[in-house]
Amino acid sequence: MTPGRSSTVGVVAIVLAYLAGVNLAWSTAQIRVWNYFNGVDILVMVALVGPFIATRWLWPSRIRATRIAWFLAAIMACDVLVFIVTTFAPSGGHPSLESLVLYFAALLRVVMAPAAVLALCIGLWKGERALVIALGVVCLIGQSVYIVPGPVHPFRWLLVRYWFGGAVP
């Protein structure tokens, strides 16, 4: 496929959809992570991440950029396992170790999530199926909002309310 106007519009749509999704879901997800995290949140995380991860076997991509986005998403999805241990392990896991893993995973996501969004944009530009790209964007939104950030985490800079001095959980 020769990149054209529709590809450019698609790339802009991916970036805007990612930013809109992060802005719309950030507060709700963060309040749940910090105050009410339970099995329902695990199910939501799996529902957001799982379909894109499954595309590797259901609709394998021939486009390298989409495969790179998949690998980045799969690496970021490993923190779901940590959330599962802290939620369902009989001992509750080792809270200090899990919080360190989740905190450093959130720091790595500052680089990995934008790189995966860029890879999805390139994948769309090169002709990847729209469904796979859409599932990837939803996965990255879920991976971006279900994190354990510090008070000055760079993802807060993506939030419109943060720009205008609004309270951001």
Asked if 22 and 145 count as a contact pair (C-beta separation under 8 A), the reply is yes
When comparing pLDDT for 50 and 6, which is higher? 50
The predicted structure's pLDDT at residue 53: 95
- Calpha distance 69→117 (Å, rounded): 7
86-108 residue pLDDT tens = 788 776 666 677 778 888 888 88
- Calpha distance 19→16 (Å, rounded): 5
Domain spans of the chain?
Answer: 5-163
24-40 residue pLDDT tens = 998 889 888 888 888 89
Asked if 54 and 109 count as a contact pair (C-beta separation under 8 A), the reply is no
Mean pLDDT value across residues 52-71 = 93
Mean pLDDT value across residues 141-147 = 91
- Calpha distance 144→159 (Å, rounded): 12
The predicted structure's pLDDT at residue 126: 92
Report whether pLDDT(166) > 90: no
Q: Above pLDDT 70, what percent of the chain?
A: 90
Q: What one-character DSSP code corresponds to residue 36?
A: I
| Structure tokens, 62 | 């021939």
- Cβ within 8 Å of residue 158, ≥6 positions away: 19, 22, 23
Mean pLDDT of the chain: 86
The predicted structure's pLDDT at residue 162: 73
Confidence band, pLDDT 50/70/90 cuts, at residue 5: low
Asked if 119 and 63 count as a contact pair (C-beta separation under 8 A), the reply is no
When comparing pLDDT for 122 and 150, which is higher? 122
Global pTM? 0.88
- Cβ within 8 Å of residue 57, ≥6 positions away: none
Report whether pLDDT(159) > 70: yes
- Calpha distance 28→16 (Å, rounded): 19
